[in-house]
Amino acid sequence: MSQADTAPTTESKRISMLFQKALASNSVREKNSFLNELKKLMKKHAADYSAAIAEGERLDAAIIDVKANFNKVNEQYQELKNSVSFLTELEFYQAGPDVASLKNMIESLERDISAIGPLPDRDSLQSLISSSTSQQQLYLDLLDFRENRLRQLVDALKQRIRTAEQRLECASVVIDQFGSISNLLDKVRMLQEENEKLKVRRIRFSSESLLRPRRLTKCEPATLRAFLVALQNELAVVRGAVAEAQKKSEDSISRLPDETELLNQLIVCPTLKFSEPLPPLTQKPLNTDEPATMTALTDPEAAGAAADSIEMQLIQADNQYAALKEKTQRLRSELTLRKNAERLATETGKQRIEKLHSLNERLLTEIHALQEQSESAESSKQILTEMLEQVTAERDEMKEKSQKLAQHYQELYDEHLRMREEFRRTWKAGAGLFRLTELFGRAYLNQITEQNEYTNQVCAFTPKETPSNVPDFTENPPQVLMKFIDDIHYELLRRKAAELVRKDKARKSMISRRLSLICQ
């Protein structure tokens, strides 16, 4: 096989020729050689085909990029076309403005700037005209001055647009939160009055380490736990002081005197005469005139001072709540300057919308944070209020209990005085009866003429007396017997008079009830 025969014009023709030769050949060796050559050509053709496919994919990606760039350029072209579309409406003049028209334009620009705000600089048109040396120099200076005024007018208009946008944003916030500007002003006035009151409290407790105002929402949990433990300790100390004061007031009540002491003295000295004064008691009853004792019983207001610390904590919570309100007032005070907001018809671009959204989100975030802080301070205030109410209730309960104890003690003391007076009268009557019985016994023993063993035993325990000392009850009754009879007669008369008075009162009450029934 010659080389000229195996050199086709193209690779596909060469593959076709090799395939036909392999089919036409009868030799196995030639067929194998044709097939091997055909495999080599096919491998090369497959590599070239893969390369062509990769190149086609690269060209497709390049076409996509070109189309994207074309679309982007087209969008920029449309945007630029829209931006410069107003230029077709402008009137162009071939000749430039003269000096007089420039002066009029500059004066008009200054009037427009002054209507918006003060002029930014001190340069004036008259000083510029007087400082020019030639007409050409004046013309150039006026052109520069006009450009400067135009820039100042653009800056003033931009500032006015920003102010109007802020007023619109704040006006919407005011409408949503308060409903109207008057409601906002009323709220601000109320917060200012409350702030003045809270400033006085802050100054009052600023020197106290535990009661001075703090921002509890910014404190660490460990600090809050320490404050809670300190308040619990103070409350425990207050309750301990109240309990100690109650215990001291109860211990100050002395016990009632024991009347058995008089009976012991009567047994030891049976010859005590009834006319002698009553022997003094070793124990004295409680003196109700002592101010310290009765104050401990009837004035438990001293125990109420223990609740002052809880009230201090309540004031501290009020101060924290006032601080949060003050911050809210500071944020909302800017709204008072924007009460005459005007809605300007300006184009709503992407930059302005993003700015409005960002400002709205920032204000909402601050308002939510302040609301959370206010709710936290309000909950702390509620807790301290409940603690104060509990301590106040305990104080009132102890006051009522002390008053009942004092009233009960007074009743017992009055009963003790009445019983002591009754005992005094009974003791006198018993002493007289004892003495009279003794005299009767002696008189009876003296009238016995015959001595026996009983009379001898009695005489052994009685003193020897002369016959002149023996009383004679028939002819000359002793004074003891007469006094005893008078006392018994007086006691009977007293009891009869008391019974008559009681019956008279009962009769009068019955008559009054009957009269009331008749009147009805």
Give the CA dihedral 83, 89, 95, 101, nearest 10 degrees: -90
- Residue 355 above 80 pLDDT? no
What integer pLDDT is reported at residue 351 of this predicted model? Answer: 60
Distance, CA of 336 to CA of 167 (rounded, Å): 10
What integer pLDDT is reported at residue 165 of this predicted model? Answer: 80
Query: What is the per-residue pLDDT across 365-379, written as a single tens digit (0 to 9) for each?
Result: 777 778 788 787 787
- Residue 105 burial (C-beta neighbours within 10 Å; 0-12, 13-18, 19+): middle
The pair of structure tokens assigned to 127 is 């000083």
What integer pLDDT is reported at residue 92 of this predicted model? Answer: 46
What integer pLDDT is reported at residue 377 of this predicted model? Answer: 79
Distance, CA of 69 to CA of 448 (rounded, Å): 162
- Residue 195 burial (C-beta neighbours within 10 Å; 0-12, 13-18, 19+): middle
* DSSP H/E element including 70: helix 28-83
CB neighbours of residue 390 within 10 Å: 13
Position with higher pLDDT, 335 vs 432: 432
Task: Specify the 3-state DSSP secondary structure of 476.
Answer: strand
- Residue 516 above 80 pLDDT? no
What integer pLDDT is reported at residue 507 of this predicted model? Answer: 82
Query: What is the per-residue pLDDT across 479-491, written as a single tens digit (0 to 9) for each?
Result: 655 666 677 767 7
Query: What is the per-residue pLDDT across 271-288, written as a single tens digit (0 to 9) for each?
Result: 444 444 545 544 444 444
- Residue 345 above 50 pLDDT? no
Query: What is the per-residue pLDDT across 75-95, written as a single tens digit (0 to 9) for each?
Result: 888 887 777 666 565 444 444
- Residue 101 above 70 pLDDT? yes
- Residue 363 burial (C-beta neighbours within 10 Å; 0-12, 13-18, 19+): middle
Distance, CA of 512 to CA of 350 (rounded, Å): 98
In the predicted model, what is the mean pLDDT of residues 23-35?
Answer: 76
What integer pLDDT is reported at residue 242 of this predicted model? Answer: 75
List % helix, strand, coil for the chain (3-state, nearest 5): 80, 0, 20
Do 125 and 145 touch, CB atoms closer than 8 A?
Answer: yes
The Cα diameter of the chain in Å comes to 203
- Residue 265 above 70 pLDDT? no
Distance, CA of 422 to CA of 426 (rounded, Å): 6
For the ranges 107-121, 278-292, 456-470, 479-493, the maximum mean pLDDT occurs at: 107-121
Domain ranges of the chain: 10-89, 95-158, 216-269, 312-413
- Residue 270 above 60 pLDDT? no
The per-residue DSSP string of 229-269 comes to HHHHHHHHHHHHHHHHHHHHHHHTSPPPPPTHHHHHHHHH-
- Residue 242 burial (C-beta neighbours within 10 Å; 0-12, 13-18, 19+): buried
476 phi/psi in degrees, rounded to 5: -130, 90
Task: Specify the 3-state DSSP secondary structure of 472.
Answer: strand
What integer pLDDT is reported at residue 334 of this predicted model? Answer: 56
Distance, CA of 294 to CA of 426 (rounded, Å): 32
Find, among 471, 441, 470, the residue nearest to 455 by Cα: 441
235 phi/psi in degrees, rounded to 5: -65, -40
What integer pLDDT is reported at residue 4 of this predicted model? Answer: 40
pLDDT band at 121 (very low <50, low <70, confident <90, very high): low
Sequence-ordered alpha helix ranges (H) in 84-134: 99-116, 125-131
- Residue 423 above 60 pLDDT? yes
Quote the DSSP letter at residue 275. Answer: T
Query: What is the per-residue pLDDT across 128-154, written as a single tens digit (0 to 9) for each?
Result: 777 777 777 888 888 888 888 888 888
